[in-house]
Structure 1
Amino acid sequence: MTDLLYSDPDLVQFYDIENQGRTDLNYCIGLAKNGGSVLDLGCGTGQLAAELAAGHSVTGVDPASAMLDVARHRAGGHKVDWVEADARTVRLGRRFDLVLLTGHAFQVFLTGEDQSAVLRTIAEHLVPGGRFIFDTRNPAMKEWLEWTPQRSERMVAHPGLGTVKAWNDVEHDPATSVVTYSTFYEIPGGRQVLGAESKIAFPAKDDLAAMLDEAGLLVEQWLGDWQGEAYVDTSPEIIPIGRLR
């Protein structure tokens, strides 16, 4: 599951720039307002984990060392217990009041077997009465149609490199619901083009519901976006919130 977008420091430097103003961070901070311990699976560069560490005991787990290098050096990063591990197999030997898996990290797990393994990890790390939340894009909305070079081209303001042209390209496999997309950054002055190919899955809500039940997790609420709206068939997101059954 090595993906240069998350493992190559030259590409990781663009992650936070491209993910500013994430509404999932605000929602999860509100969800954790009653305190307690938090496990952030797929914590990436640690934006959410570091913010939560101001008032919680937080553990951040990610398989990409380049992402964790950024996480450790961000403001508040010293308060988080960072663990380099795979969400499918990690077992920390403790349970948490809240388990998070945001930033569409669930979608990097391409098969039902891998997705079920992640859900079992969530179940293994929840205290009785604890809550979980994660997000995945709604396949019915076909967001990947916007990831063509023409529709995705954008200018990224990098603090050291200046203005960088970025774009994506995409292929969708309807048989597996797996989308393969490429991300490119053209360094100013024609010096080089950085690129990476990534694969993500778009599981359907009914399939998620069955896997959650099998993992021993009870969904109390299905959200359709990070503003807190209830899920409907045309929602952009599928966001289950729940607890152990």
Structure 2
Amino acid sequence: MQEDRLYHDPELADFYDLENGWSRSPDFAYCLSLAKDAASVLDLGCGTGELAVALAEGRTVVGVDPAPAMLEIARAKPGTAEFIEGDARTLRLGRRFDLVLLTGHAFQVFLTPEDRRAALATIAAHLAPRGRFLFDSRNPACREWEEWGPQESLRTVEHPRFGAVSAWNDVSEDPATGIVTYGTHYEIQATGKRLSAASRIAFPEKAELEALMAEAGLRVDRWLGDWEGNEWRAGAKELIPLGSLV
């Protein structure tokens, strides 16, 4: 898996929190509620650590991410969360947690069934006997990437150092593999400097996820279709399994 500049380049990583509005994010709120009874949480693909920091009050939280630029931002935030550089496909901490999370659609960076199988094995290896896990992936049937073109995505980001920054995305799909490549572009209005990255993500089907989780020894207790907690149904935008060890 190639390094994605969107997360590994410090200049691009600096835009991550500005673009994500954590306090208004329904997945953020859902995870905070889910963790109420958990004494320990493992946050895989923790990014800049915003969720891990919020969860760390009153419990043990470990955030793991493969991108040093993201972890540098995370470690600068106040709080008691521990941050570790690591790959969710190969990570083995020798510890188990009451709750294991892999959110922000980070599961979709695993482009092959083998990668997804490895990530799910990592979840199982770190889950306490009565613990729960949760991850999210976009429903491929909704073809959400078709809404990510330059016109639909054009926006202005206010950066604390650069001022107004024009931002947009472009997108293409490989019909043979189903892998979607989307570009993220920032142009600093005051200087014209442009920062760009290309990211590749997969859109696995629900049936594949079900088979891979069963193979990993994971049981799904509920399938959610959105972050408001509604049950999954055909046409729901999200595939969100909430479950435990078999």
**Helix, strand or coil at the partner of 1:121:** helix
2:37 is aligned with 1:42? no
Task: Return the offset for 1:227.
Answer: 0.5
CA contact (8 A) 2:162 2:190 kept: no
Task: Return the offset for 1:191.
Answer: 3.0
Look up the match of 2:56: 53
CA contact (8 A) 1:42 1:102 kept: yes
Look up the match of 1:98: 99
Structure 2 CA distance for aligned equivalents of residues 174 and 185 of structure 1: 28
Task: Return the offset for 1:134.
Answer: 0.4
**1:91-139 alpha-carbon deviations (Å, 9 max, x no partner):** 0001000000000000001000000000000000001010000001111
Look up the match of 2:187: 186
CA contact (8 A) 2:38 2:99 kept: no
Segments of 5+ residues of structure 2 without an aligned counterpart are none
Structure 1 CA distance for aligned equivalents of residues 193 and 85 of structure 2: 30
Letter of the structure 2 residue corresponding to residue 95 of structure 1: R
Instruction: Normalising by structure 1, report the TM-score.
Output: 0.97
Task: Return the offset for 1:35.
Answer: 3.1
**Helix, strand or coil at the partner of 1:232:** coil
Letter of the structure 2 residue corresponding to residue 66 of structure 1: A
Look up the match of 1:223: 224
**1:64-105 alpha-carbon deviations (Å, 9 max, x no partner):** 0000000001132xx111110000001000100000000000
CA contact (8 A) 2:30 2:227 kept: yes
Look up the match of 2:235: 234
**Helix, strand or coil at the partner of 1:189:** coil
Look up the match of 2:126: 125
CA contact (8 A) 2:154 2:169 kept: yes
Letter of the structure 2 residue corresponding to residue 217 of structure 1: L
Alignment of 1:162-181 (within 5 A): 162-181=163-182
2:30 is aligned with 1:27? yes
Task: Return the offset for 1:188.
Answer: 1.4
Structure 1 CA distance for aligned equivalents of residues 191 and 234 of structure 2: 44
Stretch moving more, 222-231 or 17-26:
17-26
Structure 2 CA distance for aligned equivalents of residues 51 and 14 of structure 1: 19
2:80 is aligned with 1:70? no
**Helix, strand or coil at the partner of 1:6:** helix
Task: Return the offset for 1:174.
Answer: 2.2
CA contact (8 A) 1:168 1:183 kept: yes
Structure 1 CA distance for aligned equivalents of residues 239 and 155 of structure 2: 26
**Helix, strand or coil at the partner of 1:58:** strand
**Helix, strand or coil at the partner of 1:59:** strand
Task: Return the offset for 1:56.
Answer: 1.1
Look up the match of 2:206: 205
Letter of the structure 2 residue corresponding to residue 38 of structure 1: V
**1:144-200 alpha-carbon deviations (Å, 9 max, x no partner):** 001111111111111221111100010011221110010000011243110000000
Letter of the structure 2 residue corresponding to residue 146 of structure 1: E
Segments of 5+ residues of structure 1 without an aligned counterpart are none
CA contact (8 A) 1:35 1:55 kept: no
Instruction: Normalising by structure 2, report the TM-score.
Output: 0.97
RMSD of aligned residue pairs (Cα, Å): 0.8
> What's the % identity of the aligned pairs?
59
Look up the match of 1:151: 152
Look up the match of 2:84: 83
Look up the match of 1:14: 15
Structure 1 CA distance for aligned equivalents of residues 213 and 151 of structure 2: 37
Letter of the structure 2 residue corresponding to residue 14 of structure 1: F
